[in-house]
Amino acid sequence: MPILKRYDHSPFPMDVAVWSIAEEENWFLERLQLSETEAGHFVRLRGRHRLEWLASRWLVHELSGRAERAPIVKDEFGKPFLPGSSQQVSISHSHGLAAVAVGQCDFGLDIQQIVGKIKNLAPRFLSTAEAAQAAQAGAAHYLRALHIYWCIKEALYKAYGRRALDLRADLSVEPFDTTQTEGRAIGWIKKGAMVQAYQAYFEQVGTGHLLACVWRDT
C-alpha cells in the first residue's frame, strides 16, 4: 500500500512518513535484500512484528533518497543508524502502521495504537502535574491525552538514545491543550547535568493511532 501520510519537513525539520501495512512479507523481502545481521534478527521475530519490522526498514529506504538501500544497524544502546551517512533515523511501529523519521537534526518519533490499557500504565510515566493536566481533557479526550504524553516521552527517550531514563522522573511535558487531535508541546529531558528542551508535535492518525515527534532546535 502507498505511504499513508508523509510530512516533508513540515511541521518539523526532518522527513516523516507513516505506512499502512497491507503487503505480504515477500513483497518487502524481494526489495530489501537484508544484510546477514538483519536477516538473523528477522527470523527471530514472530506474528505481526515481522511485517511491521520489514515495513519500517522499507520506509527508511524510501525517505533516505538513496538509489541503493543501506542496511540499518544499531549502536551499543540499540539506537538505529545508517552506516556511512550523516542522516539520523528513528523508527516505530504499532498494530498495522509503521512510522519513521529521517533527517540531520536530533530527534525521536513514536506511534502507538490507542488502547484502554494505557490507563493502568499512566502512574509509571506521568508526574502528578501531568496526570492532573491529562484529566482536564475530560472523559471524551482522556484516553488520547494519555497517549500524547506516552508518545512524546517515548520519542524523547529515542532522541536521547542512551537508555537509562525514567519516563516519569527524567522526562516531562509542559502543559498543552489535551483536547486537541493535533498540536504542539514542549518536552524536556532532565538527566543529571543534562537539561534539554525539545519541540514536540503530535497528531491522531486515522481513528486508532497517535503519532508524536520531538526535535531539538539548533
pLDDT category at 1 given cuts 50, 70, 90 is low
Residues 6+ apart with CB under 8 A from 53: 41, 42, 45, 93
pLDDT tens for each residue of 125-142: 999 999 999 999 999 999
Compute the mean pLDDT over every residue in the chain, rounded to the nearest whole number: 94
- The Cα 102–Cα 85 span in angstroms is 11
Which pTM was predicted?
0.95
pLDDT tens for each residue of 161-175: 988 899 999 999 999
Neighbours of 39 (CB within 10 A): 13
Listed residue (127, 117, 175) closest to 147, CA to CA: 117
User: Which residues sit opposite 82 in a β-bridge?
Assistant: none
Stretch 147-151: mean pLDDT: 99
Listed residue (26, 85, 96) closest to 56, CA to CA: 96
pLDDT tens for each residue of 68-85: 898 999 999 989 999 888
pLDDT tens for each residue of 35-74: 999 999 999 999 999 999 999 999 999 999 888 898 999 9
pLDDT of residue 94: 96
**Structural domains of the chain in order of their starting residue, each with its CATH number:** 3-104 (3.90.470.20), 113-203 (no CATH)
